[in-house]
């Protein structure tokens, strides 16, 4: 909302209707010692055009702007957003719709979420998908807690070190205050998770992998699912780039029991790291242990099709001790946007876009290798890959920054053993001449 449309007379009328003398009297219930009495340290008011100039000045100070080409990846991706998605997602029927507790008032919102669930279930190969979670990181933590609920007496979960470091940090934050233990699995020389020691682990409720993982490497999910089920644990597959499943076998086909991850790539701009979208699905037998909410299709008394909240296992709906999650947001507009994105592209469009992303990634790998870079992980990748350079890459990166190109993420802060290696991410937004510029700077 760009301005408040209420006149002083309208405000006075509303206050009279509710029996209040002023806006300040609305806060009389707040104890005086809990109120701020000092004036707010705000600058003087500005006109609209002065404020717009000020905001443009602040935006100009940012290191990354709309013209910047970002080749970083690491869980946040720049993709073209179809105008159909922008137009539909901005409609007030969707953008301002509140949580659909009353189905008779929210059939459009409920149907939109139902369509999102259906499209996501097809993409991930899952029987059931919920009405979304807060983001990919919390979705992974919720998936591991779900695995522990299903296993009941088991107290440990295993998590691959190739999962996004921020996601693993959220998992630790969730499980640290509990009696549960998190075991981390090492990464092999080819960039995949080392599952050779699974048989020696005891009391494991679930094992979580990410594919493509943080390094862009595609895990062998089918073999992993066999090994994980072999120790009596649930197979949880995470992701940060759902577009990969337009080209790769989906996790359901590979034997995953629970699938979760970040859906930002589907029509949601990477805006300072948020908002995100937690996509979450599972096999049908585990439905009642799934966190969040589920929209279902039904019929009314006259036989007409309708949509309702079929399952709501969160603390706002049921007794708190019975709730599976205390996440109180399903990121509704983000889920609707992702549904619109998937519907706009369709299965063929998602396949073609995934192939384009894969091909561009292979091209950058090839030109960097020709320029002298080494690709340390031999496994197949999607969208992202790790590169190592014969000389220090930092000066090259600074020269590219001056050309509005953000090239690579230094891995040392996340993986000390990989210091000096860089993660590159490529999407359809990166042109060939940008990749050639990076290679030329490496050779310079």
Give the per-residue pLDDT at 313: 60
131 and 216 housed in the same domain: yes
Percent of the chain with pLDDT over 70: 93
Q: Which positions ≥6 away from 328 have C-beta within 8 Å?
A: 314, 315, 316
Q: ω into residue 212 within 30 of 0, thus cis?
A: yes
What pLDDT does 316 receive?
Answer: 56
Report, as an integer, the average pLDDT of 331-341: 91
pLDDT of residue 329: 58
* 77 and 89 in a common domain: no
Whose structure tokens read 């999650």?
Answer: 325
For the chain, how long is the longest CA-to-CA vector?
Answer: 76
Compute the C-alpha angle 235/241/246, nearest 5°: 90
Angle subtended at Cα 318 by Cα 315 and Cα 320, rounded to the nearest 5 degrees? 45
How far does Cα 209 stand from its chain's mean position?
Answer: 16
Q: Which range marks the domain in which residue 268 is found?
A: 83-342
Query: Does residue 8 or residue 123 have the better pLDDT?
Result: 123
Residue 79 burial class via C-beta count within 10 angstroms: exposed 0-12, middle 13-18, buried 19 and up: buried
Residue 59 makes CB contacts below 8 A (sequence gap 6+) with: 65
Residue 322 and residue 359 in one domain: no
CB 378 within 8 A of CB 358: no
For the chain, what is the domain count?
2
Which uninterrupted H or E stretch holds 204? Answer: strand 204-210
Mean pLDDT, the chain, whole residue set: 91
Domain stops at, among 294, 327, 342: 342
Res. 442: pLDDT tops 70:
yes
Q: Would you state the pLDDT for residue 48?
A: 87
DSSP 190: T
Across the range 4-15, mean pLDDT stands at: 90
Burial class (CB in 10 A: 0-12, 13-18, 19+), 395: exposed
Pick from 320, 342, 364: which residue ends a domain? 342
248 with 358, same domain?
no
Last residue of a domain, one of 318, 342, 366: 342
Same-domain status, 226 and 309: yes
> Do 383 and 277 sit in the same domain of this protein?
no
Q: Tell me the pLDDT tens digit for each residue of 200-243.
A: 999 999 999 999 999 999 999 999 999 999 999 999 999 999 99
State the pLDDT confidence band at 110, using cuts at 50, 70 and 90: confident
Among residues of the chain, what percentage have pLDDT more than 90? Answer: 71
Distance CA 216, CA 293 (A): 31
Determine the 3-state secondary structure of 127 from DSSP: coil
CATH code: domain of residue 78: 3.90.1150.10
pLDDT at 60: 81
Confidence of residue 11 (pLDDT cuts 50, 70, 90): very high
pLDDT interval class at 1 (50, 70, 90):
very low
Q: Is the pLDDT of residue 435 over 80?
A: yes
- 294 and 149 within one domain: yes
Q: Looking at per-residue confidence, does 365 or 315 come out higher?
A: 365
pLDDT for 74: 93
Q: What 8-state DSSP symbol labels residue 18?
A: T
Say how far apart CA 149 and CA 289 lie, in whole Å: 7
Judged on CB neighbours under 10 Å (0-12, 13-18, 19+), 8 is: exposed
- State pTM to two decimals: 0.86
Tens digits of residue pLDDT in 139-151: 999 999 999 999 9
* pLDDT tens sequence across 270-297: 887 778 899 999 999 999 899 888 899 9
């Amino acid at each position: 909302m760009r301005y408040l449309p209420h006149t002083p007379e309208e405000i006075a009328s509303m206050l009279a209707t509710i029996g209040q003398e002023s806006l300040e009297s609305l806060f009389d219930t707040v104890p005086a010692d809990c109120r701020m009495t000092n004036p707010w340290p705000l600058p003087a008011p500005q006109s609209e055009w002065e404020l717009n100039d000020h905001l443009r000045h602040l935006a100009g100070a940012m290191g990354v702007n709309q013209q910047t080409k970002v080749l970083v990846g690491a869980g946040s991706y720049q993709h073209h957003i179809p105008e159909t998605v922008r137009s539909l997602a901005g409609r007030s029927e969707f953008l301002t719709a509140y949580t659909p507790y009353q189905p008779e008032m929210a059939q459009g919102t409920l149907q939109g979420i139902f369509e999102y669930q259906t499209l996501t279930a097809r993409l991930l190969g899952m029987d059931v998908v919920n009405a979304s979670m807060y983001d990919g990181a919390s979705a992974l933590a919720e998936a591991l807690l779900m695995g522990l609920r299903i296993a009941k007496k088991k107290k440990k979960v295993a998590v691959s070190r190739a999962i996004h470091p921020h996601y693993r940090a959220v998992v630790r934050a969730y499980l640290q205050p509990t009696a549960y233990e998190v075991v981390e699995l090492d990464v092999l020389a080819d960039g995949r998770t080392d599952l050779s020691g699974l048989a020696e682990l005891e009391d494991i409720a679930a094992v979580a992998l990410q594919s493509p993982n943080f390094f862009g490497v595609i895990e062998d999910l089918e073999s992993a699912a066999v090994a994980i089920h072999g120790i009596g644990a649930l197979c949880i597959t995470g992701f940060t780039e759902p577009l990969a499943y337009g080209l790769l076998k989906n996790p359901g086909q590979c034997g995953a029991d629970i699938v979760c991850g970040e859906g930002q790539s589907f029509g949601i701009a990477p805006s300072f790291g948020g908002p995100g979208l937690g996509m979450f699905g599972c096999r049908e037998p585990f439905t009642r242990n799934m966190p969040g909410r589920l929209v279902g299709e039904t019929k009314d008394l006259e036989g007409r099709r309708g949509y309702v909240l079929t399952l709501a296992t969160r603390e706002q709906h049921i007794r708190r001790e019975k709730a599976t999650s205390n996440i109180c947001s399903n990121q509704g507009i983000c889920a609707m946007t992702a549904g619109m994105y998937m519907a706009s592209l369709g299965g063929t469009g998602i396949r073609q876009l995934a192939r384009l992303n894969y091909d561009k990634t292979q091209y950058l790998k090839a030109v960097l290798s020709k320029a002298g870079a080494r690709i340390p992980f031999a496994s197949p990748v999607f969208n992202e890959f790790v590169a190592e350079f014969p000389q220090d890459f930092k000066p090259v990166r600074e020269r590219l920054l001056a050309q509005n190109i953000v090239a690579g993420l230094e891995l040392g802060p996340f993986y000390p053993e990989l210091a000096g290696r860089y993660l590159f991410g490529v999407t359809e937004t990166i042109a060939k001449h940008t990749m050639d510029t990076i290679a030329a700077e490496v050779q310079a």
